[in-house]
Amino acid sequence: MATNPEIERRRTFAIVAHPDAGKTSLTEKFLLFGGQIQVAGAVKSNKIKKTATSDWMDIEKQRGISVTTSVMEFDYKDYKVNILDTPGHQDFAEDTYRTLTAVDSVIIVVDGAKGVETQTRKLMEVCRMRNTPVIIFVNKMDREAKDPFDLMDELEEELVIQVRPLTWPIESGPRFKGVYNLYEHNLNLFQPSKQVVTEKVEVDITTEELDNRIGHDLADKLRGELELIEGVYPEFNVDEYLKGEVAPVFFGSALNNFGVEELLNTFVEIAPSPRPVKAEERTVQPDEAKFTGFIFKITANIDPNHRSCIAFCKVCSGKFSRNVPYYHVRHDKTMRFSSPTQFMAQRKTTVDEAWAGDIIGLPDNGTFKIGDTLTEGEKLHFRGLPSFSPEMFKYIENADPMKQKQLAKGIDQLMDEGVAQLFVNQFNGRKIIGTVGQLQFEVIQYRLEHEYNAKCRWEPVSLYKACWIESDDPTELEAFKKRKYQYMAKDREGRDVFLADSGYVLQMAQMDFKHIKFHFTSEF
C-alpha cells in the first residue's frame, strides 16, 4: 500500500459501458460535484447548445457518441480523482481495453431497462483478467426499468461476479420515488428535472415517518425488500471488492443527477489508491522514490490550432517533475518536458508535478509510441498494451494528388494513436488500413479531411485476418513468404504480417508450416 499521503489520496478509474448507457452524463455529474463545470450540458438536448465536456472531437458532438477516451481530473473532498471516460461503441474497444491498463478501478454503467449488453460483458472480462475492482451503477431509473432483483441476478450471471446493492430503488419510471442508501442508512427522495442535488432524509425505516414520505404501500414494499437483501446478500466487505471478487451496486439517474453523489462518496472512500504495476523486469510499487510511467494512449490534434499530438502517460511510481530529464527506454536517451499538462477534457493546464496514479499529457512530435516507458534511468518495460488483430480491411488511396504530404502525415499521426493499424502490402506496395470496426473508417476519413485537410477514399479488399508471423527456422519462413507473397505485408515496425483471405487458408497455413508461430496480437 502507498504510504505517501499524495499518492494515498489519488483515485484513478475508468467509466465503461455499452453505448448510450449514460457514461458521459455520469462523468459530467462527477465534474459538477468536483466543481469543474457549473452547468451540466444535457448531451442530446438541443436547447442547451453546450455538448458534453468529455466529448470534444467534432465527430463526437455530431454523433453524440464518444470515439476516444478522454481524461479529466478534479479534487473532491480530500481526494484527487482522475476519470477516464471511455468510448462504449465496440468499434473503439481497443482504445477502451488499453485505457483499462492505466486505471486502478472501474465503474460500469448499466442501463436499467436494457440490463447487461454485449460490450459490457467484454469489458468485464478485461477487468477480470486484471482483477480490477468494479462498481456498478444502474442508470436511467427515472425510466421504466427491469425489476431490481432480476437486474441483480442478471449482473451476477452475465458479468460473472458477486454483487451487493449499496443503494436500493423505490420503483422506477414515472413512479420512481428515490433510493434508500444501505451504506449510510438514509433515504434519498427523487425530484426530477432539476440541475440541483436532491434532498436526503434521515429516516428510521421502522417508523411511520417512512410511510408519510413515500406512502404506506411503498413503505411496506421497501421494508420487505430490504429485509430480503440482508437475507440474500452477505455483508459488504471492502477487501473482497478490492480483490475484484464483489461488485457494489448503486441505482440512480445520471441525467437527473440522482444517486450520483452516493456513488461518488462511497467510491472515493472504498476505491483503491494507486496499485503496484507489473513490469517485465519487476513489480513497481507506487510509493517508490523514483519516477516511472508508461504511455498508454496518444491523441493527435487535441488542439486543432496547433496540430499537436499528446501522449498520455500514466505515472506508476514516485513523482514526475516538470523540466527534469527522464530516460526514454526505447530511444535510450534522456528527455525533458517543459510543458506537461493535466486535463479537463479539452481544457488543459500545465503542471509542475504529478504523483503515482496521475495521468499527464506530454507533447509528442513523434517521439512516443504506445507502450513506451519513461524512468529515472532504470531499463523497465511495461507490458499488457495489446494491439489486436484487425478484422476489417480497406485499401486507403489519396483522393487529392495535391495533398499527398498532408495525407501521409495524417495517416502517420492517426496510426500513432493506435486506433487502427497500417500494413503495406509487399506485393503491390499499397497501403491497407485494418480496424476492429466499420465506424473507425468513417472517423479516420472525417479526421483526415477536417484535421489534416487531406482527402482519402477507401477501396475494398477481402481479407479475413492479419497475423504477425515469426519462426526459428529461417528456411521455412522464407518458403512461407515465397508461397504467400501476394498476402505478405509489413506493419509500421517492419514486422512480417500475413494477411489471410479466409479462415480456411489460415488453418491450412498453420498445418503446413509447423515451425511458424502465428500471433493475433502485436504483443509477443
**pLDDT in single tens digits along all 524 residues of the chain:** 447 888 888 898 888 877 778 877 888 888 888 775 554 443 333 333 344 444 545 554 554 444 455 677 888 888 988 888 666 445 455 666 777 788 889 999 999 998 888 778 877 887 887 788 999 999 998 889 999 999 999 999 999 899 999 988 888 888 888 888 887 777 777 776 555 555 566 666 666 777 777 788 888 888 888 888 888 888 888 999 998 899 999 999 888 888 888 889 889 999 998 988 888 888 899 989 899 999 888 776 555 555 567 788 889 999 999 889 999 998 898 998 888 887 654 466 788 888 888 888 888 777 888 888 999 988 888 876 556 677 789 999 998 889 899 999 888 877 877 678 899 999 899 999 988 777 778 888 888 888 788 899 999 998 988 888 989 999 999 999 999 989 999 988 888 999 998 889 999 999 999 889 888 776 64
Considering 252, 270, 288, which residue would you say is the last residue of a domain? 270
Look up the pTM and report it: 0.76
What's the pLDDT tens digit per position in 289-300? Answer: 899 999 888 776
CA 476/CA 478 separation, integer angstroms: 5
What's the pLDDT tens digit per position in 234-253? Answer: 888 899 999 889 999 999 98
| Nearest of 53, 104, 56 to residue 79 by alpha carbon | 104
Residue 202 belongs to some domain of the structure: no
* Domain shared by 23 and 118, yes or no: yes
Residue 191 belongs to some domain of the structure: no
* Domain shared by 169 and 58, yes or no: yes
* Domain shared by 494 and 416, yes or no: yes
CA 29/CA 11 separation, integer angstroms: 17
* Domain shared by 134 and 250, yes or no: yes
Four-point Cα dihedral 69, 73, 76, 79, nearest 10:
100
* Domain shared by 257 and 323, yes or no: no
Judge contact between 74 and 36, C-beta under 8 A: yes
* Domain shared by 364 and 435, yes or no: no
The residue range of the domain holding 129 is 5-177+235-270
Considering 321, 344, 375, which residue would you say is the last residue of a domain? 375
Residue 256 belongs to some domain of the structure: yes
* Domain shared by 66 and 143, yes or no: yes
Residue 440 belongs to some domain of the structure: yes
* Domain shared by 135 and 92, yes or no: yes
pLDDT for position 154: 93
* Domain shared by 252 and 291, yes or no: no
CATH number at residue 360: 3.40.50.300
* Domain shared by 457 and 330, yes or no: no
pLDDT for position 49: 35
| DSSP strand pairing (246-251 vs 162-165) | parallel
Residue 245 belongs to some domain of the structure: yes
Indicate the burial class of 455 (C-beta count within 10 angstroms; 0-12, 13-18, 19 or more). Answer: middle
Tell me the backbone φ, ψ of residue 389, rounded to 5 degrees: -70, 125
Residue 524 belongs to some domain of the structure: no
* Domain shared by 45 and 150, yes or no: yes
Considering 348, 375, 402, which residue would you say is the last residue of a domain? 375
Buried residues in 421-447 as b, exposed as e (16+ CB within 10 A): bbbebbeeeebbbbbbbebbbebbbbb
Residue 184 belongs to some domain of the structure: no
Count structural domains, the chain.
Answer: 3
pLDDT for position 41: 47
- Cα of 202 vs its chain's centroid, Å: 36
CATH number at residue 418: 3.30.70.3280
Q: Please name the helix (run of DSSP H) or strand (run of DSSP E) that holds residue 439, with its range, or none.
A: helix 438-452
Residue 209 belongs to some domain of the structure: no
- The answer for residues whose C-beta is within 8 angstroms of residue 437's C-beta and 6 or more apart is 89, 90, 91, 92, 93, 392
Instruction: Compute CA distances 291 → 124, 228, 364, 375, whole Å.
Output: 30, 49, 19, 6
pLDDT for position 83: 85
